[in-house]
Amino acid sequence: MSNKDDKLTRSEAGKKGGEAAAKSHDKDYYEKIGKKGGEATAKSHDKDHYEKIGKKGGEATADSHGDDFYEKNGEKGGEATAKSHDKDHYEKIGEKGGEATAKSHDKDFYEKIGKKGGEQRNK
């Protein structure tokens, strides 16, 4: 206890209350209040708010994790996606990506990547 009068600080009281709540509530309870809080937050914040907190969280994660973390997560996500999608899905997204790339790149771009691909093949 940090106060002279043997009173709990706000932080200590919050921790104590949180620990007590954790003992008396189950996962379902926390899911419900989390959903309720998320819905309330969504009503009071705009897209800009979520972009800012997403960027902040992404930067914090990048600062605390190395390349290995992202490689493992990417591999895990790729495996999960492969299990839930068939060849047709990949053909569709490949075509969509190709169309988007074609709109944003000119003939020079394709000549350069074609040359790079040919060089790699000849090694």
Q: What are the extents of the domains in the chain?
A: 87-123
pLDDT at site 92: 96
Q: What is the pTM of this model?
A: 0.40
Q: Which residues of the chain have pLDDT under 50?
A: none
Residues in contact with 64: Cβ distance below 8 Å, sequence separation at least 6, in sequence order: none
Q: Supply the mean pLDDT for the chain.
A: 92
pLDDT in tens, 91-122: 999 999 999 999 999 999 999 999 988 888 88
pLDDT at site 2: 53
